[in-house]
Structure 1
Amino acid sequence: MIRDERGSMSAFLAMLFLIFLLLISVCAEGIYIYTAKGKAMAVYMSGFSHTKGNYQKELADMYHIYAMDPRYKKKLETDFADRMKESLDNSEDSFLFQTGNTKLSDEVNLTAQKGEVLKYQIRQQMKYEIGSDLLKTWTNNIRTSTDLQKQITDIKGQISKDEKEAQKQQEDRENTKKSDKKDNEQIKPSAKKDPRKGFMKLLKEGSVSLVMGKKKVSDLPIDIVYGKKDTTKQKIWDFMNRKTMEKEMDKLKETSSADSFTSELPVIFYAQKYFHCLTDTSKKEGTKYEIEYLIAGKDSEKENLGAVFWKMIALRFLTNAACVYQDPVKEKEATLLAASVLGITGFPPVVAVAKNLLLIALAYGESVIDVRNLAEGKKVPIVKTVSDWQLSFSGLATLNCKQKPAKQGMKYEDYLLLLLIMQKDKRQKYFRMMDMMEQNIKRKVPDFKMDQCISSYKITQNLKLKKLGFGGMTLPFAPYTDLKLSRFTTY
């Protein structure tokens, strides 16, 4: 049987041509979809920029912190979808889109991640504002202050050494003069009033009255929302008891460290720039002692100021104790005063301990005078010399002396920053900043809340793209291609 192959070549070529057209259409469709996705993404990113522009204005103006306004969040999805539809529909190209649903997700607010979100923005804001000279100056100041912690160990060692030497002298005297009753009564000085008692009585009145006197002090309440309230109370130093004083000095040594201070510099300079303190008189309403709250965490302004005063006194004590123990004149005065205070009961070991406690009390009293200078906006030398000293033993009970502010040294604001660096719980300053920011902005926007301000988020937009048509036939066969655009952004 003979097969009829006429026309087979034509059919074969026709099929090859159709396959070729199909491949061309698929390639054209791919290029079309790829180009359409680029167009859609451009419109999407434009809408994204629009959403970021709706930041909380008062927060940005007052603190240079950026986050989405909570009021805009409520209409973000609708607004974003409308802008996408308007931009795509009004386009003059040949792409045909249908906008689907818009979803806001993965929201991170300013108070999230244990303060790390706010910390990041602060570091970004301040990294170009901290000059190398400023960094070097503060590094030297901090090291000078914290290196003096070893003086506490030296002071404790001096007390123990003096007591042992006095004990040995007493034993030698008793062994060589047992038969001479007159010699046992050779020192009978008339007892004098111990200035430490009057000084301790003053301390019990509180640091605010001790430093500020009769000056008016703000006592507004602090609304603590994000920070942790500090409920600890200041314990008055007992300059009459050696063991108690040694315990207090050990606590001071533990709390006066400034580890990793370089990493904390951006935030403390930010605090100085955007928050107020006692010596800053520019703020007329609201909380006056904001930086003091960042440090102390009390729920009233007066308590915060008082807590900061105590901390400053303790810091100044470190440097003043170093000075007083290097002054042989003061050491001699303290020895005579200790013997006079103890009278006939003062045998050498007790006199030696009393002498050292008097020196410590004098250094602490001098520290109170220093903080008075600081509160008045004056400078205090970082390390004192004999010529800088202000308080005498005779003025210790009343803290009356002539104040000597220095031309060179650290100011009240500098000590605030030092205390911020030395905070044990370094995250608390960020949470307390949130409290201050919210409290101040609420005076303009009553319903403002920091934990509703979105710092970062993701927007997902669903689209449908109509495919190309060839001679009335769409290839591939589904008429629309689904597109899903999604991006994560942060301020």
Structure 2
Amino acid sequence: MRNQGQITVFLSLILISLLVLFLAAIGVVEFHMDRARVSEAAKGASEHIKADYQEQIFEEYHVLLLDKTYAGRGEGALEDRMLRYLDYTLSSYGFQIQDVSLTGMKSVMDSHCALLREQIRDYMTLYLQVKAVKDIGEWMQLDDRSAETMAQEIATGKLEESEKSGDWQGEDPRKVLQREMKHGLLDLVLPENSGVSGVKIEMSELPSHTGQKDSDSRQDRADGEDDCSVDTSFEDIDRLEADMQKMTRSGSSESGEAGNGLSEMTDAGKELLYGLTCFDYFTRTDGKGHPLQCEVEYLIAGRDNDYDNLQAVVNRIVLHRMPVNMAVLLTDPEKMAEIDSIALTLSLAPGITYGAAKYLLVACLSYAETLVEIRSLLAGHKIPLVKTGAEWTVDFDSIGKLTELDRMDYSGADGVDYRTFLFLFLAEKGDVIYERMCDVMQMVVREKQPEFLMRDCICAYTADLDIRKHGTNFSIAIEASYQGQR
């Protein structure tokens, strides 16, 4: 009997131990099931608010952003949506939601819009034509070389004298051009029955201007006409030389550092082509009634109205094309014979050498030719990358009738259009264009949502969750991001 009692006790202890182990196993399994349930619910809650991306920006610009104010409802609105989602999902299992907070928010404006640029590259990878980017880079280098060569040639040739006497009679072509310029630069190059608005937009709340103290400092930051315009009096040879040197420096960004290097244009090209794909410019508008008609021109110039932005871009085209045209003109014997005759006569006046007069006249005629080219570009036509003498349009007899000359419509393989020049200028501007992209996005969204601010938009965040069940706390941090979603 005693042995039987010991066996009973022994078996009871074993059963109790097994029961304890079983209950412990159930507890462990239940804990892990609860943790897995909480983890999945947390991921679902995170995806739930990620689905509330800014719809208009995605539809028009293919960028995923989350407005942390939830369309003006306040910064706590997103946490509240997550809390309600978690409560709906977990409350039936006995969970209590203690706290939900979003931390580690990464703004679209952080690090010069680094996350925005990453999304742009992902989007543009789908159809980027690398060869086109490479070719445009080669065109840009050609323009730079032309300007540098011309600046050197002017520096060495401006003091040239001639013993020949001039017998030319007539009005100084530079005076004729100055009369034409009184109409205004854009009036000479815009197509008939077209125009651009001079209505100013409010810029104080735009992302690229946040922190600027006044309008003057904002305008200093913008690319003003004085930075890229050419002296059209063509009376000062030193000023002409400086204008040519200005062209060789135009590849620097607004921070004073070198802009996107052409040898590294493949990655940068994705972002630049995005600008031409998703934003309007003078020769391509979508008719959606955006605050700015010339959006790409704004990315380049940063002015507060379409008129000034387009004029700044036109001045940049002049700065790129005039040296190329001057180089063509200097190699044309027939045209140079006429220029020499006028230069010899002008050099009879005190204070001007034959060499200075020659280069000033070459620049004057090349500038007029460039304006005709720009008229063609703004009409949607192409011009030759480097023209021949036979393709030259303007002479000294027609320099006062620029708007009456026929536009070019070049169909050769080396033709370039207005879009090509916009690409070049975007490449020159550096990081500032991405902040200005955010400016345009904000202006467009604010047409329907007046309180919207791009600085409130985030691309990534961390959701910190504190959830309790029967005295057990579950603390989870879920990282969420729109990056790499394509």
Where on the TM-score scale, by shorter chain, does this alignment land: which range?
A: 0.7 to 0.9
Give yes or no for the alignment of 1:262 onto 2:266.
yes
Give yes or no for contact 1:192–1:341 (8 Å, CA) kept in 2: no
**Matched residue, 2:390:** 387
> Please, what TM-score do these two structures have when normalized by structure 1?
0.81
Instruction: Structure 2: state its 5+ residue gaps.
Output: 210-217, 253-259
1:211 maps to which of 146, 171, 189: 189
**Matched residue, 2:469:** 465
2:138 maps to which of 123, 132, 143: 143
Q: How far has the Cα of 1:369 moved from its partner? A: 1.0
SS of residue paired to 1:485: strand
**Matched residue, 1:83:** 85
Q: How far has the Cα of 1:255 moved from its partner? A: 0.5
Q: How far has the Cα of 1:429 moved from its partner? A: 1.1
Larger Rg: 1
- Code of the residue aligned with 1:326 in structure 2: it is T
Give yes or no for contact 1:379–1:406 (8 Å, CA) kept in 2: yes
How far apart, CA to CA, are the structure 2 residues paired with 1:380 and 1:190? 33
Give yes or no for the alignment of 1:244 onto 2:242.
no
Instruction: Structure 1: state its 5+ residue gaps.
Output: 1-5, 171-185, 467-479
Q: How far has the Cα of 1:105 moved from its partner? A: 2.0
Q: Equivalent residues in 2 for 1:175-324 (5 A)? A: 187=165, 189=167, 191-203=169-181, 205-212=183-190, 215-224=194-203, 225-228=206-209, 229-231=218-220, 232-234=224-226, 235-237=229-231, 238-256=233-251, 259=261, 260-283=264-287, 285=289, 286-324=291-329
SS of residue paired to 2:165: coil
How far apart, CA to CA, are the structure 2 residues paired with 1:21 and 1:281? 76
How far apart, CA to CA, are the structure 1 residues paired with 2:427 and 2:174? 32
Give yes or no for contact 1:97–1:464 (8 Å, CA) kept in 2: yes
Q: 1:452 to 1:162 in 2, by over 3 A?
A: closer
**Matched residue, 2:421:** 415
> Please, what TM-score do these two structures have when normalized by structure 2?
0.82
Q: How far has the Cα of 1:392 moved from its partner? A: 1.3
- Code of the residue aligned with 2:84 in structure 1: it is D
- Code of the residue aligned with 1:421 in structure 2: it is A
Q: How far has the Cα of 1:109 moved from its partner? A: 2.9
SS of residue paired to 1:422: helix
How far apart, CA to CA, are the structure 2 residues paired with 1:376 and 1:213? 6
Q: How far has the Cα of 1:338 moved from its partner? A: 0.7
Give yes or no for the alignment of 1:332 onto 2:340.
no
**Matched residue, 2:124:** 126
**Matched residue, 2:257:** none
Identity %: 24
SS of residue paired to 2:384: coil
SS of residue paired to 1:484: strand
Q: How far has the Cα of 1:16 moved from its partner? A: 7.4
Give yes or no for the alignment of 1:108 onto 2:114.
no
Q: 1:359 to 1:201 in 2, by over 3 A?
A: same
**Matched residue, 2:213:** none
How far apart, CA to CA, are the structure 2 residues paired with 1:151 and 1:350? 24
SS of residue paired to 1:243: helix
**Matched residue, 1:3:** none
Give yes or no for contact 2:143–2:321 (8 Å, CA) kept in 1: no
The superposition leaves residues 156-206 of structure 1 with CA deviations (integer Å, 9 ceiling, x where unpaired) of: 443455457x55x76xxxxxxxxxxxxxxx836355422123324544654
SS of residue paired to 2:207: coil
The superposition leaves residues 379-418 of structure 1 with CA deviations (integer Å, 9 ceiling, x where unpaired) of: 1111211222111133335536443321231221222122
SS of residue paired to 2:478: strand
Q: State the 4+ residue runs in structure 1 displaced beyond 6 angstroms.
A: 6-17
Q: Give the number of equivalent residue pairs.
A: 447
